[in-house]
A = this chain, B = another copy of it.
Amino acid sequence: MSDSEQHGTSRRDLLKLIGTVAGSAAMYQAMTSLGVAAESPYSGPIKLEGDPKGASVLILGAGLAGLVAALELRKAGYKVQLLEYADRIGGRCWTLRGGDRYTELGGFEQQCAFDKGLYLNPGPWRIPYHHHAMLDYCKRFGVALEPFVQVNYNAYLHSHRAFAGKPQRLRHVLSDFNGHVAELLGKAVSQNKLDEMVTQEDKEILLAALRRWGALNRDYTYAANGFTSDRRGYERDPGGGLAGAPTVSQPVGLGDLLKSGLWRHLATGNIYEFHTTLFQPVGGMDMIAKALARELQGLVQLDAKVTSIKQDAQRVTVTYQNSKSGGDVRTASADWCICTIPLSILSQIDINVGNEMASAISAVPYDASCKIGLQFKRRFWEQDDAIYGGISYTDLPISLIGYPNTGYSDAGKAVLLGAYTFGPYAYELTALPPAERVKRAVAWGAEIHPQYEAEFENGIAVGWHRVPGVQGCYGLWSEETRKAHYKNLCQIDGRIALAGEHASYLPAWQEGAVLSALDTISRLHQRVVASR
């Protein structure tokens, strides 16, 4: 907090100074750039000034961190080369489409049987509006974006323990929760029970605010009437002509609402990373990786399994083998190395860095997660249930159902996200053969959408702790590990520097990977320019 206040104060002082000197136009110019820059750690395309004089960088991993590092370093005059474990570029920025084959650790192979144009993003699937670096790279490299619907008021909240297992519309739960909260507080305040907490001056305004926000009657009750149906929806919607009279709907009582536990999901859309407006790339998340990779043709060696990373005073030398066929050990070397390999893998590789970085590399466990894409014959969630995009939540092991935020009202087939689950459920689910995972997801989903059974066609399941070359979803920092190890992980060790979502304060987000890469290459470049 004191940080924040200091920050605010010094910014105000600066603005005052600029205002005095240059008048209001300059003041405004300053406000704009400072306003955005102060909030975001990304302040536009990186400028790496100074000549690296032919220095070379070997980049390990062609996920977003590696790709961004390669693009920006090459632009700054470096010789760059990338090694990537997988047979494709992008890392966790990945999209599965019909015809794609995927073999997980343990040997299970799946062939994606989706129809043309349909896809699953097994990894990240959304980009918040304040992930400025991601949006800027999309813009600079021509990746088209479309809105990602996080909160859909007509989607379901479901608990198999509540309301006899019948899914509830979010709009009902949300309106009724707000209404009951407003009613309780409104009654308490109007009955003078909170007089030591609310000033007399604020009291009347608060009561007016609660009535309006909670859709309360004048006596602070939340009841079945037109006012509350204008929030939660009607039993029968208003229509036209003689047959159009609406019928109001009946709110759920406070006790039932609380006991259902469905309120757990109400804050979702209020979480900073899920605020509107969110985006997704048109056609799949890997459109981003593909757009970046297009610029790097010939510089990426695919199927390269790194087996050791060694440095001395002059160079970094990496050995690698073909990740599928094994065979000869090959070497690559450069003046510097940026390693974006996930810590789950890097902690298993022979790397000669100091104890501090080595300890940090071993300190971060990886979360497990599992995503399952399901293809259906038709968009029954739109046609029957009027759910266009967004997410339904459940306490079943699938955790959620994510509806496609594209192709609305299409008459044909479609793919939805039939499970997105973390931790124990992800382990349990992935312990099963893929076909069985899909079968379970269909059975659980059918508790929310009975249409599943008749409409299901095929599915594909990705458990991240079984993805070769990744073995986990993202680096799971705790407050303690971050305090002990984060700086040591990010400090350049000799000629080796790390980058990736694990080297950021935005774990699991692509923005974290990109900002980490930009921070790392800035520091590396300073060192290179200073040393030449």
Contacts and interface: CB of A to CB of B under 8 A. Distances in A.
User: What is the size category of the interface that chain A forms with chain B?
Assistant: 35 or more
Contacts of A255: 199, 201-202
Contacts of A514: 240
Contacts of A237: 39-41, 130
Nearest to A278: B388
Contacts of A42: 239
A433 to B, nearest CB: 29
Given A235-B38, A276-B153, A490-B242, A194 B205 contact: no
Given A36-B386, A152-B276, A154-B275, A270 B239 contact: no
A184 B198 contact: yes
A290 interface: no
A405 B385 CA distance: 25
A145 interface: yes
Interface in A14-34: 28, 31-32
A209 interface: yes
Given A188-B185, A277-B149, A409-B139, A129 B388 contact: yes
Contacts of A522: 243
Contacts of A491: 242
Contacts of A174: 270
Contacts of A212: 263-264, 267
A334 interface: no
B516 A213 contact: no
A249 interface: yes
A236 B7 contact: yes
Contacts of A187: 197
B209 A519 contact: no
* Protomer copies: 2
Contacts of A181: 181-182, 185, 210, 213
Interface stretch (A83-91, A422-430, A502-510): A502-510
A174 B272 CA distance: 12
Q: Which of A31, A174, A229, A506: most chain B CB closer than 10 A? A: A506
Nearest to A131: B237
Contacts of A106: none
A254 interface: yes
Contact of A135 (B215, B243, B244, B409): B409
A394 interface: no
A441 B412 CA distance: 45
A80 interface: no
A147 interface: yes
Given A181-B185, A202-B258, A231-B271, A386 B243 contact: no
A234 B384 contact: no
Interface in A138-153: 138-139, 145-147, 149, 151-153
Contacts of A232: 272
A275 B255 CA distance: 25
Given A197-B187, A240-B503, A258-B206, A267 B231 contact: yes
Contacts of A8: 235, 250
B7 A247 contact: yes
A513 B504 CA distance: 53
A3 interface: yes
A506 to B, nearest CB: 5
A311 to B, nearest CB: 20
Contacts of A378: none
B277 A213 contact: no
A97 interface: no
A451 B25 CA distance: 10
25 contacts: A1-B224, A1-B250, A8-B250, A35-B385, A39-B236, A129-B386, A130-B233, A130-B237, A135-B409, A139-B411, A154-B277, A181-B185, A188-B188, A193-B194, A205-B258, A213-B266, A213-B267, A232-B272, A234-B272, A240-B516, A241-B503, A241-B523, A242-B490, A243-B522, A244-B515
Given A39-B236, A239-B512, A240-B506, 20 more contacts: A1-B224, A1-B248, A4-B250, A39-B233, A40-B236, A42-B239, A129-B388, A138-B409, A146-B146, A152-B277, A154-B275, A171-B275, A174-B270, A198-B254, A229-B272, A233-B272, A239-B506, A240-B503, A240-B516, A241-B518
Q: A-B pairs with the 6 shortest C-beta distances? A: A241-B519, A41-B239, A240-B515, A240-B516, A238-B505, A153-B275
Interface of A: 1, 3-5, 7-8, 28, 31-32, 35-36, 38-42, 129-130, 132, 135, 138-139, 145-147, 149, 151-154, 171, 174-175, 177-178, 181-182, 184-185, 187-189, 193-194, 197-199, 201-202, 205-206, 209-210, 212-213, 215, 224, 229-250, 254-255, 258-259, 261, 263-264, 266-267, 270-273, 275-277, 279, 384-386, 388-390, 405, 408-409, 411, 450-451, 487, 490-491, 499, 503-506, 511-520, 522-523
